[in-house]
Structure 1
Amino acid sequence: MPFILKRLGFFVLSLWAAITINFILPRMMPGNPADIMFAKFKGQLDPASMEAMKKAFGLTDKPIIIQYFEYLKGLFTGQWGLSFGNYPTPVIDIIKSSLPWTIGLVGLATILAVFIGTSVGIYISWKRQGLLDNTLPILTMGIQALPYFWVALLFLFIFGFKLNWFPMNHGYDDGLVPGFNWTFISSVIFHGFLPGLTILLGSLSGWLVGMRNNMINTLGEDYVVFAEAKGVSTSRLMFTYAARNAILPQLTSFAIAIGNVVSGSILTEQVFSYPGIGGQLTNGVLQEDYPLIQASFLLIAVAVLVANLVVDLLYSRLDPRVRTGGTDK
């Protein structure tokens, strides 16, 4: 219980720091985002109209401490401001419409990469120096060395443009109404196959090679050798004795990967014109849409913090030494 309370306290403190930094940084930038945005209206609107527009966007000259508490209030009530580039659409509505696409695409691809890479890493470490052990790590590392966007463009050109096997853009067929029916779901899967495959292949090597190396180190430990000498079954030796301990470093990487799901694979989403949060963030940067950028960055930070908290608690469950500070009490 003290360990859990300590982790929760650290999470709350980190969350407050992330929120505060997200509030302060835009206000420390040289110049005024409002002036940059309204510069294009210079000479077209009178001062009264300009002030009315600034009020509509929530821009104010109030003292910084009052702005901070108003920011906190808006943050926890869902009032994240209006998008500069999609006025008068609220930022929260843009996040709500794009976030599920990224979670579905990048989240599923990441989970598949972790499961496949970890499982194959366990197997080839047990059968080390075999054909798969000599080829798969090199092959997957070669694929991962290729830039995400280059692989995405290659898939798009071959399977979308040349062979016309898969659609080249968007998240579902034009004319379909989103809903929980097979027509819409199958269209989403069809459109997400190529971008999902790009993300899967690009991240598979890290999980496979990492688990293989962890397993080889663990298989050389005395307790594993002793269990093997006692005649413990192969499956129990592989999973209960070796894999359970070898998988612990993977959890830390998994926390980072899951936290980064929210940010999406920005370049991949851009190549396939996928309606995820990565594409929205890119458009926000290009349009200098500060409320959207600020909300996106905060969302990414919160996702990473939550993922790390969950993995810390899971880590302590799998390895009791974490709860006791590395001792065997």
Structure 2
Amino acid sequence: MRYLLRRLGFFVLTLWAAMTLNFFIPRMMPGSPEQALRDRFSKGGNIVSPEQLQTVLAEFGFDPGKNLLLQYIEYLKAMVTGHWGVSIGSSLGVPVTTLIGSALPWTLGLVGITTVLAFALGTLIGTISGWRRGGLIDGVVPPVFIVTSALPYFWVALLFISLFAIGDHAILPNDFNYDQGLTPGFNAEFILSVLKHGILPAATILITAVGGWILTMRNNMITTLAEDYVRMARAKGIPNRRIMFGYAGRNAFLPNLSGFAMSLGFVISGTILVEYVFNYPGLGYMFYNATVSTDYPLLQALFLLVTLAVLICVLLCDFAVFLLDPRARTKG
């Protein structure tokens, strides 16, 4: 119980520190919401006085007239209560919760599923590769995927676009999340369109992410196979499949949980470069637009979501290791 309470206390302290950084970092970025709004209004030929601009900013939840401490207190209150304000960027006046709610399902569907799939495939291949060290799989598969994992996301994305989405040989779309003429709904045509539009970005993330899981799981397996209890299991004549998955694989898998928890947490941020290249309307693309337009409310809400997701996933990972590994309970 003391271990769990200590982890919860660490969670609360880390969340407060992250929220504090979340407040100050956007304010240290180049530009300001005042200038962003002034430029936006000027494009329409409107002249906005300083008083009018202050009124608009106050209505949008940002009042430069207040001192920094009052802004910080109101910010903490708004973040905790879920009153995240409205956008002052390209989606001027739209509630931040509405914007995030429209983009979150697409990021969870694309990046979330691909992250889980990459982890599952990497763990399986790494387990087999470590078990059959020096074999055909170990000699071919890990080196290939380690090379692909070192490639930049955007380069792989552009390569896929040039191979499968441009010219007479184009077989897959490379833009947006579904065909523009369709009405969203649970029907076969719309679902098929969503799947087709997700193939290239999903393949980009999968190929560049799976290599890391293969390498770490392979190394964990090699280390675990040298343990005495694995040798004892072999001496008792326990079937190899049971030793590989039930003994060595289970214990080699535990160190990877923390990394997987971090990956799940960062799913919320999306893969910014991939979503940008494919013009995929997820949270990563929203991050980019919010940064360009100096959209403080949206940036702060997105940073908060990423922080919460990472901390919650890591906390759940700590609890899972605590339950699955007796050594963690002893140390705790």
Distance 1:284 1:118, change over 3 A: same
> Do structure 1's residue 84 and structure 2's residue 88 form an aligned pair?
yes
Match of 1:149 among 144, 147, 154: 154
Match of 1:194 in 2: 200
> Do structure 1's residue 208 and structure 2's residue 214 form an aligned pair?
yes
Match of 1:169 in 2: 175
In the TM superposition, 1:50-89 aligns within 5 A as: 50-60=53-63, 61-85=65-89, 86-89=91-94
Match of 1:100 among 94, 99, 105: 105
> Do structure 1's residue 181 and structure 2's residue 187 form an aligned pair?
yes
In 1, the alpha carbon distance for the partners of 2:295 and 2:207 equals: 32
> Do structure 1's residue 49 and structure 2's residue 52 form an aligned pair?
yes
Q: CA deviation at 1:166?
A: 0.7
Amino acid at match of 1:16: W
In 1, the alpha carbon distance for the partners of 2:282 and 2:170 equals: 23
In 1, the alpha carbon distance for the partners of 2:283 and 2:314 equals: 21
In 2, the alpha carbon distance for the partners of 1:30 and 1:244 equals: 45
Percent identity reads 49
Q: How many residues align?
A: 325
Q: Secondary structure at the match of 1:208?
A: helix
Q: Deviations over 1:95-135 (max 9, x none)?
A: 11111111110111110011011011111222221111101
In 2, the alpha carbon distance for the partners of 1:150 and 1:76 equals: 39
Amino acid at match of 1:318: L
Amino acid at match of 2:105: P
Q: Secondary structure at the match of 2:267?
A: coil
Q: CA deviation at 1:25?
A: 3.4
Q: CA deviation at 1:38?
A: 4.1
Is contact 2:127–2:217 with CA below 8 Å preserved after alignment? yes
Match of 2:36 in 1: 37
> Do structure 1's residue 121 and structure 2's residue 120 form an aligned pair?
no
In 1, the alpha carbon distance for the partners of 2:314 and 2:145 equals: 27
Match of 1:16 in 2: 16
Q: Secondary structure at the match of 1:261?
A: helix
Q: Which runs of 5+ in 2 are unaligned?
A: none
In 2, the alpha carbon distance for the partners of 1:155 and 1:272 equals: 11
What is the Cα-based RMSD across aligned positions, in Å?
A: 1.9
Is contact 2:34–2:53 with CA below 8 Å preserved after alignment? no
Q: Secondary structure at the match of 2:149?
A: helix
Q: CA deviation at 1:273?
A: 0.6
107-116 or 11-20: bigger deviation: 11-20
In 2, the alpha carbon distance for the partners of 1:278 and 1:312 equals: 27
267-276 or 229-238: bigger deviation: 229-238
Q: CA deviation at 1:321?
A: 1.6
In the TM superposition, 1:164-313 aligns within 5 A as: 164-313=170-319
Q: Secondary structure at the match of 1:166?
A: coil
In 2, the alpha carbon distance for the partners of 1:63 and 1:23 equals: 13
In 2, the alpha carbon distance for the partners of 1:181 and 1:263 equals: 28
In 2, the alpha carbon distance for the partners of 1:238 and 1:118 equals: 12
Match of 2:7 in 1: 7
Q: CA deviation at 1:30?
A: 7.8
Distance 1:2 1:59, change over 3 A: same
In 2, the alpha carbon distance for the partners of 1:286 and 1:48 equals: 25
207-216 or 172-181: bigger deviation: 172-181
Q: What is the TM-score with the length of structure 2 in the denominator?
A: 0.92
Q: CA deviation at 1:90?
A: 1.5
Runs of 4+ in 1 over 4 A off after TM superposition: none
Amino acid at match of 1:59: F
In 1, the alpha carbon distance for the partners of 2:144 and 2:81 equals: 49
Q: Secondary structure at the match of 1:44?
A: coil
In 2, the alpha carbon distance for the partners of 1:117 and 1:25 equals: 35
Q: Deviations over 1:267-300 (max 9, x none)?
A: 1111111011111111111222222222211211
Q: Deviations over 1:211-237 (max 9, x none)?
A: 111111111111111110111111221
